[in-house]
Amino acid sequence: MTAKHTPGPWHFRPTGHLINGAWIVAENGTRIANVSRGADKSINQKLADGLLIASAPDLYADLAVLVKAFGQTSDHGLWVRARDTLTRTRGEP
């Protein structure tokens, strides 16, 4: 089965003060993910996690462009890993 993600861009939106957590939201306001307000995470870690998650659609698209342009047929380990990452992200076996 192929998974399809919510189109980007995604944005990091704290819920008030970051200590209370944050949402990752799509351009249309759809909530994608919640960055927990759990006591086991520092504010800096919550911020870093949220920014990384919010950048996922852009990272995916950029990696796909690079693979298409330079690594579709390469057996070099880096390109194999990049193709495997794209395959896993799409939910393909």
Give the pLDDT confidence of 16-66 residue by residue, as tens digits.
777 778 899 999 999 999 988 677 778 888 889 999 999 999 999 999 999
Question: Do 14 and 32 have their domain in common?
Answer: yes
Question: Do 71 and 34 have their domain in common?
Answer: no
What is the span of the domain harbouring residue 83? Answer: 56-93
CA-based nearest residue to 9, from 49, 51, 46:
51
Question: Do 65 and 83 have their domain in common?
Answer: yes
Question: Do 22 and 34 have their domain in common?
Answer: yes
Specify the long-range contacts of residues 39-45, CB closer than 8 Å, at least 24 apart.
Answer: 43/18, 43/19
Global model pTM greater than 0.95? no
pLDDT value, residue 53: 95
Question: Do 1 and 43 have their domain in common?
Answer: yes
Question: Do 24 and 6 have their domain in common?
Answer: yes
